[in-house]
Amino acid sequence: MADSKRKIDNHSLNANNQTLEIFSLIWLDANTVAKDIQAAEQKLRSVINQLKKFQDVAQCQKYIEERSNNERLLVIVSGRLGREIVPIIHKLRPVISIYVYCMDKKSNEEWASKFSKVKAVVVQFDKLIARIETDFKVHQVVEEPFSINFFSTNTGVGKSTGGINGKFAFYQILMDCLLRLKSTDKDTKELIDCCKQQYEGNSSDMRIIDEFEKNYSPDNALWWYTRQSFFYKTLNAVLRIENIHMIFLFRAYIADIHRLLEKHQDKSPVRVFRCQLMSTDELETLKQNQGQFISINSFFSTSTDYQQALSFFNKSGVKDGLEQVLFNIDADPKMVITKPFANIIAHSEFAHESEVLFMLGAIFRVKRIIRSSEDKLWIIRMGLCHEDEHDLKEVLTDMKKDLGSGETNLRTLGKILWKMGKFDLSEKYFIRLLNELSSNDPLHEDLYQDLADLASQVGDYDKSVQWKKKLWAFRNPNVPSVPVKNDEPTSDMDFGQLSPSYMYSIIFKEILMELEMDDRQSMKEFVVYCRDRGQDVRGELMNFQKEYRHRSPLWWYSQSMPLYGTVNRALRLFDVELLMKVGFFIRDLHHQLENLHREQFTMTREPFTVYRGQVLAENDIGNLIKMKDGLISFNSFFSASKLSFINNVIYYSQRGPK
């Protein structure tokens, strides 16, 4: 056996460094790097692909303790190392089964018998594989995380996008959008590549992936779903952990299953059953939501056979900290509008199982939760609902208006994710669509605007400016773009030769005008900024905070106080951080000037001349001479007068008498 140590294998990670299965095997043994163990690895991975090997107890313990409660771990330990780690990890939620693989069965059975999660103590590897394979079939039924969203009709429950009801509604809208979003060959290739990367080195599953790639057809989607292969394990996992991009890639296959469930929809009401192991907290959450709605975030497999459902509990056994729960569900096909269910016995790989499958996103009302003294388990009575239930209809109908009818596109998906607060994904799909469009597609304009607004919302103003530049260039395709240094004046009337610094300032101003910010908070930050710099000697800022809305922006701008200097300094230096603090005032002053301009424009349209006295450095005068007959732009508010003598006085006072 080799003495060298290594932490873990990395074949369980996809391109995004995230596993695509819920179940993992952990193997703790001092000899797991030996050459003769490779064949054993292949056999283990043919059952559960995710395999991580450890030779050090501390490293293994750390890894297990860092797992999410939505992950499920089957742990293989040697006799010696098992004595150390099993007492530590036994009560952790992710750990569902432990197997002691050793040479001395009798002595290890003595200590292992104290721990209910230890399923077997074995000395032969083939028996270990057989036991794991048998247990895994049961685990897939009772141990998979129960991923649900709640909708509460109680007054005061959050209806925001981040609240309980918001999550419920957005998941429904998201799935509706994905089912109507046409898939492409690029999406299919990306999905297959992801799966191949995930199962690299697993010869059994790689053969099935190749078979899937060659032989899959929409009419056998249910057969593939019920088959014990990468397809079921990966699809179920990404739905339960809500890996949105992988769900996006799987959407064509989800749509195929949806179509088949519609085609074979049950015609008569049925009562079905589903067994599930739940933590006390999970069960308590359901108890608190009796009378409310839940939606299942994955395909929901049930049985028409009560005894068959219960039999899985007999096979799994009782575990510390977990409750045995039996769902008793009444489903009437009259309740089905968009989420069908069907008995799939004729389309399943396992024709002997009386399985009824519900479409992902199916909505149920939790009627009653009781404890059965006879079977020593919890029974949850539920009824299938549809989206037109009075309490649901208002929320879902309003949100679906944005989707419209017919096919959706990546922009629709991006906007939904934006509202859900998933900004990175939203940007990802906007850009993905951009890359798919022809160069002159008018949708570029909308997407550039979306990307600029999205970047502004998350505070990435540099990126927002870049998208605004692309928008400007798309709107002005015939204007040549000539690179100009930031400090180089531009005298040509051709807007394509405007300097980057000018473009940046103009675009940033547009962004600043469009931003929706908390003006009260911005004002507080401005006041703190001034006070920290000793600019509130006379205490005017307290009055400014109290009275700001009672006076016009122009009145405040003309006052002898820190506001005037701070605003203009921020504009002239283009201090973005400071501009964000005074943005509320700039917006207000801009709007007042707009209104005044409209009023005065209706009274007179005659051009007039204004004057401004200003001391300039010699190089500034030189630049202005170069700009003769050209354009200049002032980066700050520009004060001038119709009376030339007033500006002569200003000029004299600035220069002083000769």
CA distances from 248 to 166, 190, 235, 242, 415 (A): 20, 11, 11, 10, 15
The pLDDT value given to residue 390: 60
**Helix ranges, 105-163 (H):** 105-112, 125-142
Q: What gap in Å lies between CA 547 and CA 646, rounded to an integer?
A: 31
The pLDDT value given to residue 537: 66
Fold of 148-400: Toxin ADP-ribosyltransferase; Chain A, domain 1 (3.90.176)
Q: Higher model confidence: residue 350 or residue 250?
A: 250
Q: What gap in Å lies between CA 21 and CA 24, rounded to an integer?
A: 7
Q: What gap in Å lies between CA 519 and CA 548, rounded to an integer?
A: 11
Question: Residue 114 in contact with residue 91, Cβ under 8 Å?
Answer: no
Reported CATH class of domain 23-142:
alpha beta
| Mean pLDDT, the chain, whole residue set | 82
Confidence category of residue 351, pLDDT binned at 50, 70, 90: low
Write down the domain spans for the chain.
23-142, 148-400, 410-513, 517-603, 618-655
Helix (H, G, I), strand (E, B) or coil at 491: coil
β partners of residue 293: 151, 365
The pLDDT value given to residue 413: 94
Q: 410-513 in CATH: which number?
A: 1.25.40
Angle between helices 443-457 and 500-514 (to 10 degrees): 70
What integer is the mean pLDDT of 193-204?
92
Q: What is the DSSP letter of 583?
A: H
Helix (H, G, I), strand (E, B) or coil at 408: strand
β partners of residue 423: none
Q: What gap in Å lies between CA 645 and CA 613, rounded to an integer?
A: 10
Q: Which residue has the tokens 């798309």?
A: 474
What integer is the mean pLDDT of 405-416?
90
Highest mean pLDDT among 41-50, 313-322, 349-358 belongs to 41-50
The pLDDT value given to residue 99: 97
DSSP 79-95: HHHHHHHHHHHTT-TTE
pLDDT at 9 > cutoff 50 = no
Contacts with 347 (C-beta within 8 Å, 6 or more apart), sequence order: 220, 222, 223, 226, 260, 264
pLDDT at 626 > cutoff 50 = yes
Tell me the torsion sign for CA atoms 148, 152, 158, 161: positive
Question: Which two three-digit tokens encode residue 583?
Answer: 């943005």
pLDDT at 328 > cutoff 80 = yes
What integer is the mean pLDDT of 349-360?
81
The pLDDT value given to residue 491: 37
Confidence category of residue 317, pLDDT binned at 50, 70, 90: low
In this structure, which amino acid lies at residue 217?
Answer: S
Q: Where are the beta strands (DSSP E) in 134-269?
A: 148-151
What integer is the mean pLDDT of 214-243?
92
What integer is the mean pLDDT of 139-163?
72
pLDDT tens for residues 98-150?
999 999 999 999 999 999 999 999 999 999 999 999 999 888 888 888 889 99
CA distances from 62 to 66, 85, 88, 89, 221 (A): 6, 11, 11, 10, 40
Confidence category of residue 291, pLDDT binned at 50, 70, 90: very high
pLDDT tens for residues 418-462?
988 999 999 999 999 999 999 889 999 999 999 988 988 888 877
Contacts with 246 (C-beta within 8 Å, 6 or more apart), sequence order: 20, 191, 194, 234, 238
Question: Residue 479 in contact with residue 496, Cβ under 8 Å?
Answer: yes
What integer is the mean pLDDT of 531-559?
81
Q: Where are the beta strands (DSSP E) in 141-268?
A: 148-151
pLDDT tens for residues 27-80?
999 876 555 677 888 899 999 999 999 999 999 999 999 999 889 999 999 999
Confidence category of residue 12, pLDDT binned at 50, 70, 90: very low
Confidence category of residue 647, pLDDT binned at 50, 70, 90: low
What integer is the mean pLDDT of 568-580?
78
Residues belonging to the chain = 658
Strand bridging mode 341-343 / 363-372: unpaired
Q: What is the dihedral of CA 115, 119, 122, 125, to 10 degrees?
A: -140
pLDDT at 265 > cutoff 60 = yes
Helix (H, G, I), strand (E, B) or coil at 614: coil
pLDDT tens for residues 484-534?
333 333 333 344 445 556 666 666 677 677 766 778 888 888 888 888 777
How far is C-alpha 502 from the chain's CA centre?
A: 36
Q: What gap in Å lies between CA 538 and CA 13, rounded to an integer?
A: 62
The pLDDT value given to residue 403: 72
Q: Above pLDDT 70, what percent of the chain? A: 84
Judge if 23-142 and 410-513 fold alike in CATH terms.
no
Angle between helices 79-89 and 105-112 (to 10 degrees): 10
